[in-house]
């Protein structure tokens, strides 16, 4: 194999496994298997509920999406934002941003499946109920958080502002959680209390599988999203370093030339 | 009964996950070419 072929093979390997590692491959395979098992139980093995009929199947993805988005994803963003404000390192900033992005995705799943579950259960897709409204506010807050992260500002200023919003956004999650107790609305009480008291057998097991598989999906996505975020910062730094090296080489080449061949005059070199 | 709500719900979640994952891995492949090995700390 020639040096060029070896280089091309090495590049292919780098690109093919861009953000994967042995761990992420094994974890990804387990996650995919778990999702397949979950789908079988959720859509095939689980019997219809007595009162909700097949609409109970939406419960298996709606509640896990809510737990992953609100508590896990936005919780990690909250902790990482505090850590960033204390330590000021890229690691915490990128972790907060990566977790928030996936949290917004799961929050969209929660709102979408909740609306689809609401129509057969309540008769409406949407109502300005305290739980629904506070959840929608959470979604908008963290969408705004992602927008702030894309502002064309000094990176430190941008990350600090994002961290502050990440902390405020998580405080709203407490409002979401308590909304069913503080105000009267259409949404039922704490769903996890219902899980303990009203679910049993195959329904409970299907919900449990949904929760585990959604958590695994979140973990796998977070791993890759963080690595992509890290690559983005490093790609920017590498591009800047290359550009600086090129300018320095150009300047060195220019100053090395004699004045009669296009090099600097005596007046110009005084300032160099 | 109510499958007309269940199927769109599952399509939303699993379709959304598939699209997001595809976009994420595609972005990773594009970036992998631009980042030299010595800067790949935390990555794979």
Nearest-angstrom CA–CA distance, A198 and A110: 21
Confidence of residue A8 (pLDDT cuts 50, 70, 90): low
Terminal-to-terminal C-alpha distance of chain A: 48
Q: What phi and psi values does residue A49 have, to the nearest 5 degrees?
A: -75, 155
Confidence of residue A201 (pLDDT cuts 50, 70, 90): confident
Distance from CA of A183 to the nearest CA of B (A): 28
* Mutation site for A-interface testing, chosen from B7, B9, B18, B20 by largest number of A Cβ within 10 Å: B9
Per-residue pLDDT at A82: 97
Give the tens place of pLDDT for each residue, A146-161.
999 999 999 999 999 9
Confidence of residue A206 (pLDDT cuts 50, 70, 90): very high
Kindly list the residues of chain B whose beta carbon comes within 8 Å of any beta carbon in chain A: 1-3, 5-6, 8-10, 12-14, 16-17, 20-21, 24-25, 27-29, 31-37, 39-44
Residue A271 pLDDT > 60: no
Q: Is the four-CA dihedral A6, A8, A14, A16 of positive or negative sign? A: negative
Chain A partners within 8 Å of B40 (Cβ): 231, 234
Ranges in chain B, pLDDT < 50: none
Chain B partners within 8 Å of A73 (Cβ): none
Read off the CATH number of the domain in which A212 is found.
Answer: 1.20.120
Residue A104 domain-assigned (yes or no): yes
Residue A11 domain-assigned (yes or no): no
Number of domains making up chain A: 1
Residue A238 domain-assigned (yes or no): no
Here the ipTM equals 0.91
Residue A242 domain-assigned (yes or no): no
Q: What phi and psi values does residue A53 have, to the nearest 5 degrees?
A: 55, -135
Residue A158 domain-assigned (yes or no): yes
Task: Say if CB A46 and CB A206 are below 8 A apart.
Answer: yes
Residue A261 domain-assigned (yes or no): no
Confidence of residue A182 (pLDDT cuts 50, 70, 90): confident
Count of pairs with CB atoms under 8 A, one residue in A, one in B: 117
Give the CA diameter of chain B: 57
- Cα A170–chain centre separation: 14
Nearest-angstrom CA–CA distance, A232 and A253: 32
Domain that holds residue A38: 23-227
Chain A partners within 8 Å of B34 (Cβ): 231, 235, 238-239
Say what angle helices A22-40 and A201-256 make with each other, to 10 degrees: 150
CA dist list (Å): A79 to A153, A221, A225: 23, 18, 17
Nearest-angstrom CA–CA distance, A200 and A178: 25
Residue A254 domain-assigned (yes or no): no
CB contact under 8 A, B20 and A105: yes
Residue A47 domain-assigned (yes or no): yes
CB contact under 8 A, A108 and B34: no
């Amino acid at each position: 194999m020639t040096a060029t072929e070896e280089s091309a093979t090495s590049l292919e390997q780098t690109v093919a496994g861009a953000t994967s590692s042995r761990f992420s491959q094994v974890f990804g395979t387990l996650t995919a298997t778990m999702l397949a098992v979950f789908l079988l139980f959720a859509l095939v093995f689980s019997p219809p509920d007595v009162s909700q009929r097949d609409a109970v199947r939406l419960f298996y993805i709606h509640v896990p999406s809510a737990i992953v988005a609100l508590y896990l994803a936005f919780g990690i963003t909250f902790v990482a934002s505090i850590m960033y404000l204390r330590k000021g390192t890229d690691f915490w900033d990128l972790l907060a941003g990566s977790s928030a992005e996936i949290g917004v995705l799961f929050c969209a799943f929660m709102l979408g499946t909740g609306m689809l579950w609401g129509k057969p259960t309540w008769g409406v897709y949407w109502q300005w109920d305290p739980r629904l409204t506070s959840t929608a506010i959470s979604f908008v807050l963290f969408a705004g958080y992602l927008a702030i992260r894309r502002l064309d500002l000094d990176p430190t200023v941008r990350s600090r502002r994002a961290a502050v919003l990440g902390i405020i956004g998580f405080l709203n999650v407490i409002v979401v959680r308590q909304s069913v107790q503080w105000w009267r609305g259409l949404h039922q009480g704490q769903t996890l209390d219902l899980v303990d008291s009203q679910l049993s057998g195959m329904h409970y097991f299907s919900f449990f599988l949904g929760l585990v598989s959604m958590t695994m999906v979140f973990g796998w996505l977070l791993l890759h999203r963080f690595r992509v975020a890290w690559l983005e910062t490093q790609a920017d730094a590498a591009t800047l370093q290359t550009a600086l090296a090129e300018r320095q080489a150009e300047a060195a080449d220019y100053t090395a030339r004699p004045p009669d061949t296009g090099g600097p005059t005596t007046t110009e070199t005084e300032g160099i | 009964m109510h499958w007309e709500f269940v199927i769109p719900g599952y399509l939303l979640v699993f379709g959304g996950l598939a699209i997001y994952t595809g976009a994420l891995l595609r972005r990773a492949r594009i970036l992998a070419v631009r980042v030299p090995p010595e800067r790949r700390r935390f990555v794979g």
